[in-house]
Amino acid sequence: FAANTPQDFAAAARVAEPMCDAIDLNLGCPQRTAYLGHFGSYLLDDKDRDLVCSIVRAGAEAVNIPIFCKIRLLDKIQDTIRLCQGLRDAGASLIAVHARYRASWERKGPGARDGPALMDQIAEIKQAVPDITIIANGNTITFQDVEENLKLTKADGLMSAEGILDNPALFLPHLKGQHQHIVDDTKAEALGPADREDIEMKAQKLRKKLRKISKIEKKITSNGKDSLSDEDRRRLEKKIDLQQSLSRIEASRSSTHQQNVDSFETLCMRAENKLGLAEEYLDLAEKHPVKIRSVIFHTRRILKSMLEKYQFMEDCLASNSIDEIRSIVTKMKHYKENPEAFVFDKDKAAKEKEALERKRREEGKRKAYEARMMRKAKREGKKDLSHYLHIGAEVPTKETIEKLKLQPRQEALEVWKRHHSQHCLAFHLESEGCKRGRTCAFLHVDVVGNNHAF
């Protein structure tokens, strides 16, 4: 979740708890919506340290599942280490470290939003904070990168963002030699929803108790048995009983599933076929519906080279349904199997090139606006160069949008100019939304109170 108050984070965590295994607080988002909304990596300043720790603490106290945090590097390695120690003490069970510096309006160059991630700093963090799970993030495009980064950082695990978007099977080689057969995602469950929820809640409570015991054992390693309180000793005595109870619950839960299994070799063959991966993704998107823009985004990432080769990129971006995307995938499969059937369309290529150039120009308008506002603040001697970027940046609420839709157009426009002038009016008030999409110079941020993500 992206949250900036303890109350909101705890409330959201309680809602999500029955449906997930952990709750993650995003302290790494560098986007301008995070800056304007004061969340993500913009909560990592010293002045917000107590707030961040109180958010984590509230979440840890509210639910029986682990609380995770994802962060970026601070300017000095010792500051990042102190941040991790604070998150650990507040109740975080895992910290994922994106090994690039926090984004800001001024910072540029390698280590910020461009260039290689600074994985050596994760190694220092893990060495300095060994008693919490550290996940490395950055510089991971191939499985060889996975192996090399884990070796370099000594981290407990690794996550990928960009790499796994292009290749959803990125981590598959990790399973080689571990299992002769791999369980497929498709399961037929015999228990009803209420029964499954009750079993999962019991398992979560047992895991939380075992995590506390694990911390006590680490305390013994660091400070000896004499450092234990009477309560610590009573908890240690219950470890075996708790483990056995958890094993029984997990065994009973797994017996209710009818599982489909594939051999490792079969999965590897499927992973080498990008079109097959895309079809598998589309199957999952139909089973677990999401917005069509998300489906387009992921399909485009998986099949980028083929969409460009067979001149279907614009068709994919303009799709309105999964069926339309499937049709494109089917056509590309046909061209791949029958190369002579594809004829390169020069006119279409020229139009797509012109559209791409126009899109880049439009996308540059927002950056140019931000740069102008910062120069204006600098000329006027303002300490906060982002001063003008806050004016009109207030995110409209769902209630505000509903009221504005009922008002005459001119009155609605006046209200918008006073409070939300940096946001796209069409995106919120027009029935068809903003036709410019990503190329719009105004902000496209979902309303406060809406259940959709930014």
Q: Which positions are annotated as active-site residues?
A: 29
Strands 157-159, 133-137: pairing is parallel
For residue 67, list its beta bridge partners.
23
For residue 27, list its beta bridge partners.
71
Backbone φ, ψ for residue 238 (5° rounding) = -90, 0
| CA-wise closest residue to 267 among 165, 162, 175, 144 | 175
Type of residue numbered 447: V
Contact in structure between 423 and 395 (CB atoms under 8 Å): yes
The span from the CA of 335 to the CA of 317, in Å, is: 20
Q: What is the CB neighbour count within 10 angstroms for residue 446?
A: 16
**CA-to-CA separations, 279 to 125, 276, 282, 321, 388, in angstroms, rounded:** 40, 5, 5, 14, 46
Type of residue numbered 236: L
